[in-house]
Chains A and B, each alone.
Chain A
């Protein structure tokens, strides 16, 4: 049963080249991009560490939000006019030119709200699960591997071969623990 449980290792590297080397070694050891997370304090160009293209659906969120915003805008503004019908010299109760402003704002507000929700969803936030180390914000690059217990020795070897400054598990640093290199 224990070999089925997932564990996480986090290695810290000083240079991007070392981090890219670690990712390459992990790929060679049979780990794929779903098992590996690259953590940095600043965005690097996509593929800088040999990782694959990040797929996401963020572009769909503004369209869905715009449709919802427009629907709410119509319901609000048409509802308000129908509820209080102000008769103005034969003009229609629901005055389309006047409600265009509200529909416009409602549509764009919906698009913004959904985009922000999409950002959180696609970024997998809130996230309080994964391993992290404050040194990443000092410029170190973290390579995290999440895999089954039985595969951890392979991951540890691959990470160590790329010369990390530290190697962490949930229990703490493995670099200075007895029995490790």
Chain B
């Protein structure tokens, strides 16, 4: 049990809504810089639409590069939100309270960013409508549901819609709070419409509690399905190195590893940027780090399974792919870097309580995890396509272009900008949930110890 937040309601309201109603100068500076990156990416996309995918450096046989790597990476990050939020809600973990909203919002903007990449990668984004929506009555062309190109959009659409609604339902009490505390009539009217007249009746609170549990229970299977289906984009092909039955759980656990790390990074930034030191404490980061030790180790297990199964099959093309991934330059450097960043440095460090409770080291190690996990996706995607094909004997190298680096940087900018904008307009901390924790918190004597405790219905 963590130490409860100690603050009266007025102080909590003021501190939790401070960033929503304030306009710090750094917000405009950071927003401007992020928008600059987005403009650069927009120019790249326009040029790509004019000159085709070769503008990004794609050529036979390696057609999947940074764009698809980025897609898988951001889908992965998006998994943390719901995983953390839903599981902690269902288990009624007390320390969930300041964590859930940020994790859910990270999910929304990661997903929105992820879906940009297959669209850009298609070269003609508007045509993707034909693949997914059965609307082309005139030509009689319909989607082919046997293709992951249909599974993927359906899963991501479901996940995105569910997450937005999940966040909105949980946001209703905080919208009502923002309505009551709004400094001017315009924002009061806007928050009022969004809050739909929420007054905090006992019935409304009861429904909020039940809805949180119900939606968590429904969204968890969606969360598992999304990254499973993303893994099947690879696994249902016959490409050596991809055609693997363990890809779904391997991708899901990798997503959780990457995503929970991203949540920790975001929370540490929020603590300092939004002045939430009272609400995001060392206890929260410590709890998430303990979770990460387990998740990272399970992820390593699946990575090793993927490797050993690849070798034990003694399929020449599969062994060749693994040899390229782990032995041949430049992949050997990437492989060593990724495993060091994703596991060898962070996990032993997290074993120490002092590290788990240190904001600086947790920030550094969780950033390292995501560097490692991005490289892991790169290593999964590209070397498998660089193999020499049978019969045609075609093979080729892939070198990322400057344009792709710009798109990757812009994807980070898009997620950060989305998160920042949300935090500017809406409460990023679930105020009602935090205040409930204060009401239910107590201290009890056990022998001669005086320990924090929480009541639970």
Contacts and interface: CB of A to CB of B under 8 A. Distances in A.
Interface of A: 37-46, 49, 51, 54, 56, 58-59, 62, 76-77, 79-81, 83-84, 86, 95, 98-99, 101-102, 104-106, 108-109, 111-113, 115-116, 118-120, 122-130, 132, 134, 136-139
Interface string B214-229: 1100110110010001
Contacts of A105: 154-155, 157-158, 222, 225
Contacts of A125: 172, 196-198, 204
B200 A139 contact: no
Contacts of B161: 109, 112-113
Interface of B: 8-10, 13, 134, 140-146, 150-151, 154-155, 157-158, 161-162, 165-166, 168-169, 172-173, 176-177, 180-181, 196-211, 214-215, 218-219, 221-222, 225, 229, 432, 435-436, 438-440, 455, 457
B162 A108 contact: yes
A43 B145 contact: no
A51 B134 CA distance: 51
B145 A115 contact: no
A138 B181 CA distance: 9
Contacts of B172: 123, 125
A112 B134 contact: no
Given A41-B200, A125-B197, A137-B180, A102 B145 contact: yes
Contact of A108 (B165, B221, B432): B221
Contacts of A127: 196-199
Given A123-B198, A136-B180, A137-B181, A98 B145 contact: yes
B206 A46 contact: yes
Nearest to A38: B202
B196 A83 contact: no
A34 B238 CA distance: 64
A137 B218 contact: no
A99 B134 CA distance: 14
Contacts of B197: 125-130
A83 B143 CA distance: 10
Contact of A43 (B157, B162, B209, B215): B209
Contact of B162 (A42, A84, A109, A132): A109
Given A37-B201, A108-B158, A119-B208, 15 more contacts: A41-B200, A46-B206, A76-B134, A84-B142, A105-B154, A108-B225, A123-B204, A124-B204, A125-B172, A127-B197, A138-B9, A139-B8, A139-B9, A139-B10, A139-B435
